[in-house]
Structure 1
């Protein structure tokens, strides 16, 4: 009797273990670029690709517009002016304590319009937790 109870228990344990499914990575279904094709005259979402960990205080985003402009990232833009640390929840609410950095080579350039670098969406990888782009 003990042997059959033990075998039954062992069968249940292995059945549960065998049917255990792997955890699904739902971030693969998220497109942070959705809603980024907006401007002051026309709203298509008014979002920007905020790259951060869950519940993060600071977000990082590629900046295609000038500093202190509500629309920091526009999908139609051809140049990146920098990578902005932001707290901005919406383009209608201005940002605070934000700054932008940009990797440069050669002579140091301070004006963001002069240091802007061309980019293509073909060479851009955007995930909720990761951003990568080739700067030309």
Structure 2
């Protein structure tokens, strides 16, 4: 728990019990959870947690670059990984997989049609090998 509190302090985030537990779950789960999945997992564990607390916390952690948002066709998921990587989203089982394979570089775009671009995500969408082989 101390490790997670230190990670928050390094980004000038007050380390409350709720924030520490949310970060811990994202880091340790490796499942790319959505805010709702985080809430469902923690609501029985932390007495004073609400769905709003989870949504506000993941928003803050993302804004402060502690975690990354992964935008998929079905929801926003969250990831903590120190190594730069991409993601694959399965439309059948709805899982998100880390992709460490080298992929074509995403072009650097600062603006498009007058809009300021702040983030470009590389998320591949398709059917995972487990589903292709008769899984879920």
Superposition TM-score, scaled by structure 2 size = 0.24
The structure richer in helix per residue is 2
Superposition TM-score, scaled by structure 1 size = 0.24
User: Which of the two has higher C-alpha Rg?
Assistant: 1
